[in-house]
Amino acid sequence: MKAEKVVTGLERHEAVRYTSSHAFLLDRRTLNPIHGPASGLFYLSCVQKFSLRPAQDAILMNRIPRFLPLRTTSLAIALILTATTVQAEKPGVVLQGKAGLLAGKNVVLIAADDEYRSEELIPQLAKILAVHHGCKCTVLFTINPATGFIDPGAQNIPGLEALDSADLLVIFARFRELPDEQMKHFVDYIESGKPVIGLRTATHAFNYTRHKDNPYAKYSFNDAKFSGGFGRQVLGETWIDHYGHHNFESTRGTIVPGMEQHPVVRGVGEIWGPSDVYAITTLTGDSKPLVLGHVLVGMKPTDPPNEKKKPVPVAGRRAIRAPRGRLRGYSRPPWVTPTT
């Protein structure tokens, strides 16, 4: 599926259709996406505040724009568009890369959590990868089957067949229980030996509560026989608890001494994120921490560390033998705290 241009008079924006009832907007300068129904409501992020234009000058509007606060340096404009958009042929957003180190590679990114707005974060990451590194990026979302809208709580991720030809999977998911026909593509990819990058809640990406006897239920974060499910068996650790005080203690990340030249973190300085550090019990396999998370006493980058809580790994890599593939490496298991 290719991006389509919507002429709105604000040429710095482009719209990308990703379901028959949704549209997606990316600001080229801020890479700040907001989603809305394709019946006409779009949110355009703007870098700076500006005066309201007269209704007669607002192209493709049939109402005067309504301003909504988005961030301290930006505004959102709700535009009721009368333009007709083309129906998407496939689910998800596909961004075609051009030149770059990853040209010719296919990356599938899954946005399927209901806490951290992965439906906004993951498309930004995908556009960075496509524009600056040249890979083709397919972003898949949790979609409400009844409405066709992105729904962070939906147990439905259409388009996972894209994994059949993927070279890399990036997953940001939480407590999913997917239909078998969708989960099969995911498991086939995992067992193929291809690389996976898990973000934050990927520790507990799956949680089968309705069909506990399902063969895929073993991927649940709390599975006893397949200890820790997908999180522990594949990425190094499952969901344990919040180590930092959620929404009160943020995270400072520092490179593990001696790992400064590792390809994943080479050139990376100090990291900070408003999310808290996750607790861990033990790291499985040959997990190698790359970044240590220091629990800070507050929510600012300059806050001092909580001396009562020692640093714990928040980013690393591991390699395991896939059932039907080669030795595979994981550059960022989900015992990480996202720091973007």
DSSP codes, 43-105: EEEESS--PPPPGGGSTTBSS--EEEEEETTEEEEEEEB----PPPSSSSEEE---SSTTTT-
- Give the residue numbers spanning the domain of 200: 92-239
Give the model's pLDDT for residue 56: 26
Question: Taking a C-beta distance cutoff of 8 angstroms, is the pair 135, 129 a contact?
Answer: yes
Q: Do 112 and 198 lie in a common domain?
A: yes
Q: Do 234 and 265 lie in a common domain?
A: no
Give the model's pLDDT for residue 287: 87
Q: Do 234 and 143 lie in a common domain?
A: yes
Assigned domain for 325 exists = no
Tens digits of residue pLDDT in 74-83? 333 232 222 2
- What pTM, to 2 d.p., does this model score? 0.71
Helix, strand, or coil here: 10?
coil
Sheet holding 196-198, edge to edge: 93-95, 136-141, 106-112, 168-173, 196-198
Give the model's pLDDT for residue 325: 58
**How many domains does the chain contain in total?**
3
Assigned domain for 1 exists = no
Give me the mean pLDDT over the 256-278 stretch. 93
Q: Do 291 and 185 lie in a common domain?
A: no
Q: Do 151 and 102 lie in a common domain?
A: yes
Q: Do 96 and 221 lie in a common domain?
A: yes
Assigned domain for 2 exists = no
Q: Do 162 and 24 lie in a common domain?
A: no
Closest-CA residue to 103 (of 138, 139, 133):
133
Question: Taking a C-beta distance cutoff of 8 angstroms, is the pair 18, 27 a contact?
Answer: no
Assigned domain for 323 exists = no
Q: Do 70 and 110 lie in a common domain?
A: no
Give the model's pLDDT for residue 333: 41
Q: Do 59 and 126 lie in a common domain?
A: no
Q: Do 251 and 232 lie in a common domain?
A: no
Question: Taking a C-beta distance cutoff of 8 angstroms, is the pair 92, 185 a contact?
Answer: no
In angstroms, how far is CA 228 from the centroid of its own chain? 22
Assigned domain for 275 exists = yes
Assigned domain for 324 exists = no
Tens digits of residue pLDDT in 94-119? 999 989 999 999 999 999 999 999 99
Q: Look over the chain and give the mean of its residue pLDDT values, rounded to a whole number.
A: 74
Give the model's pLDDT for residue 5: 34
Runs of H (alpha helix) within the chain: 118-133, 180-192, 229-230
Q: Do 179 and 111 lie in a common domain?
A: yes
Q: Do 218 and 117 lie in a common domain?
A: yes
Assigned domain for 306 exists = yes
Give the model's pLDDT for residue 45: 27
Tens digits of residue pLDDT in 146-181? 999 999 999 999 999 999 999 999 999 999 999 999
Give me the mean pLDDT over the 42-53 stretch. 26
Closest-CA residue to 262 (of 291, 235, 239, 240):
291
Give me the mean pLDDT over the 291-317 stretch. 95
Question: Taking a C-beta distance cutoff of 8 angstroms, is the pair 251, 296 a contact?
Answer: yes
- Which tokens in the block code for residue 107? 């990356």
Assigned domain for 74 exists = yes
Q: Which of 80, 100, 125 is a domain's end point? A: 80
